[in-house]
Amino acid sequence: MQLLQEIRRNINKQEKHKYLLSVAVAAPTFLVDTSYDVARMNEYVDYVNLMSYDYHFYTKSTPFTGINAPLYASPNQIGYFATLNINYSAYYWHFNGMEKNKIIIGLPTYGHSYTLMNNQNTVIGAPAIGYGRLGILGFVDYKQMCTFVTENKIKPFFDMDSKSPYAVKYSEWVSYDDTVSLTFKTEFIKNNDFGGAMIFSLNMDDHVGVCKKDLPKGTPKRFPLTKN
């Protein structure tokens, strides 16, 4: 806090340029509670970039599938699990004292892969035994995702609670984002008057154009997720 205060005091003294002060911040409520004085941060920063992703990914202590960046909770999630979504985090930051127009919502262009324990159980929350084969430590970029879906002729599922797709082939299970899910998420930002969107990250979007055959007509060939 001291640091932010000093930086703010200093940039306000600059006459030639108007500088912005922004901070990338965590989304989970327990981190917000233990790490930030949100109301005071609000006085010093122009905006916070909310890292509203990685809500679910494979770890030994969470060995089940889940959505990387759910927009909303699903009705069967209760207690702590019901807080693991973009909507909850964005409002949590706001209720703790950050002005809405300073809250920039992070949107991922990557997904998380899992290896299912049982190929027949493919639901969200199904037991998993590790990262999937796709990606690095389970981080899958959008190019890899498109290739995976097209080459295997997969018809991805779309979960209407979280407004997010996931794709399954044998024991490979991947949660990711596409143009449809990101449209829901940007509409949410606009309809709820938050400050804007932050993309994580440009290089994990399709900067080559390999996804174009799967995308609706008129979608930009390069950076389809970011530009759409």
Using CB under 6 A, list all residues that contact ligand NAG: 72-73, 87-88, 91
- Provide the 3-class DSSP secondary structure of residue 185: helix
How many Å apart are CA 94 and CA 147, to the nearest integer? 39
| Residue 142: count of CB within 10 angstroms of its CB | 24
Q: How far is the CB of 62 from ligand NAG (least distance, A)?
A: 22
Conformation bin of residue 165: beta by default, left when phi > 0, alpha when psi is -120 to 50: beta
Q: How far is the CB of 94 from ligand NAG (least distance, A)?
A: 9
CA 107 to chain centre: 4
Nearer to ligand NAG, 57 or 72 (CB): 72
Which residue, 106, 105, 123, is CA-closest to 114? Answer: 123
Q: How far is the CB of 138 from ligand NAG (least distance, A)?
A: 27
Q: What are phi and psi of 159, to 5 degrees?
A: -90, 115
Q: How far is the CB of 73 from ligand NAG (least distance, A)?
A: 6
Helix (H) or strand (E) holding 112, with range, is: strand 111-116
Nearer to ligand NAG, 73 or 180 (CB): 73
Q: Which two tokens stand for residue 118?
A: 């049982």
Nearer to ligand NAG, 36 or 58 (CB): 36
Nearer to ligand NAG, 117 or 180 (CB): 180
Nearer to ligand NAG, 52 or 144 (CB): 52
Contact 129, 62 (CB under 8 A): no
Q: How far is the CB of 226 from ligand NAG (least distance, A)?
A: 25
Q: How far is the CB of 46 from ligand NAG (least distance, A)?
A: 24
Contact 168, 157 (CB under 8 A): yes
Helix (H) or strand (E) holding 164, with range, is: strand 164-169
- Provide the 3-class DSSP secondary structure of residue 176: coil
Q: How far is the CB of 87 from ligand NAG (least distance, A)?
A: 4
Contact 99, 194 (CB under 8 A): no
Nearer to ligand NAG, 91 or 184 (CB): 91
Nearer to ligand NAG, 72 or 110 (CB): 72
